[in-house]
Amino acid sequence: MSVTFIFDKNQLLNNGLLHIPSFFKGEHLYAIQDELLQMLDDKSKMIPREGSEHFFQKYQSTSYCFVNQHVHYPTLKALESNVLIESILNSIFPEGYQLQQSLVQHNKAGEGQAIPWHQDVHFEKVAPSKMFNFLLYPFDTTMESGALHFVLGSHKQGRLPTGNPHDPLSGEQAIAPKAGDLIIGDCRLFHKVNHNYSNQDRVSVNMRFHSSEVKPEDTQIGVYRNGQVNYAG
């Protein structure tokens, strides 16, 4: 059984970002929401925050993270082999692909948490269009609660300009995805999430895939405006 998902591949490759509204809806979306709420309630599944104080302070990236926890939740686990996502992956990675990791990020209402400007991979290690975030938004976001900020086309530019972590970038745009929206973004794209001082939680589900041509060990370095981090520790 094979199927092709219709999407604008050229836009994705040229801009480094593609927004597909209402990719998930109805009962499927409700099941995703239910499981995510269970995950967020289970602190044992969250990455411990102790020992990361230096990272929070230097890079001002402060969301609660749940890494590779989909396996405990059937609907979330099934996302990784969702037939429509597979169709998109087959189109952008005809050479084959691999899931690097799944990541749920939670910016709690009113806590002012944020994710500063960054690139998920090092521009010298991974070429444009070789690694993508599949960001699913299970709940509505607003401009105040955690819109996604990005610079279109920046995935082809090389290093993120140096500076303070949250300082504005030339050409930046923002989008506030609605529940069920899917955003596919090149991991080299300059992107950030603003501080959430709203009364609304912000949750995103990220499945990060890379081309089979990319070595897994080359996918571990994230670049920030004031430095770079080896996520593998």
Partner 1 sequence: MSHIEIVAGGTRARKDTLHVSALADFGYNIINDEGIFELSNPLLAELLGDKRTLFVISPTVYEIYGQAISQYMEKHLPAQQYLLTVTPSTEVNKTMDSVLGICAQAKAFNLDRDGCFVAIGGGIIMDMVGFAASMYRRGTKFIKIATTLVGQVDVSVGVKTGVNFMQSKNMLGTYYPAYATINDRLFLHTLPARELRCGLAEVIKMGLVCDANIFEQIEDYYLKHPKGSIKHMDYSIFVAAMLRMIEELQPNLLELELERLVDFGHTFSMRFETHTDHRLLHGEAVAIDMALSCALSYLKGHMSKEDSERAIRLIQHSDLPIYDAECCHVDSMQASVEEVRLHRNAVNLVLPTDIGEGIFIKEPEELPVELLQQAIDIVKLIDAEGKTEARQAELDMA
Binding interface with partner 1 (CB under 8 A) = 1-8, 20-28, 83-84, 87, 178
Q: Which of 212, 146, 142, 183 is nearest to 11 (CA)?
A: 183
Tell me the closest approach of the beta carbon of residue 2 to partner 1, in angstroms. 7
E strand or H helix that includes residue 215: none
Give just the sign of the alpha carbon dihedral 43, 48, 54, 58. negative
For 20, the token pair is: 């597909």
For 136, the token pair is: 């699913």
Of 2 and 199, which CB lies nearer to partner 1 in the complex structure? Answer: 2
Of 77 and 159, which CB lies nearer to partner 1 in the complex structure? Answer: 77
E strand or H helix that includes residue 175: strand 172-175
Tell me the closest approach of the beta carbon of residue 226 to partner 1, in angstroms. 37
Of 3 and 232, which CB lies nearer to partner 1 in the complex structure? Answer: 3
Tell me the closest approach of the beta carbon of residue 62 to partner 1, in angstroms. 30
Q: Which of 86, 126, 81, 77 is nearest to 104 (CA)?
A: 77
Tell me the closest approach of the beta carbon of residue 25 to partner 1, in angstroms. 7
195 in helix, strand or coil? strand
Of 1 and 232, which CB lies nearer to partner 1 in the complex structure? Answer: 1
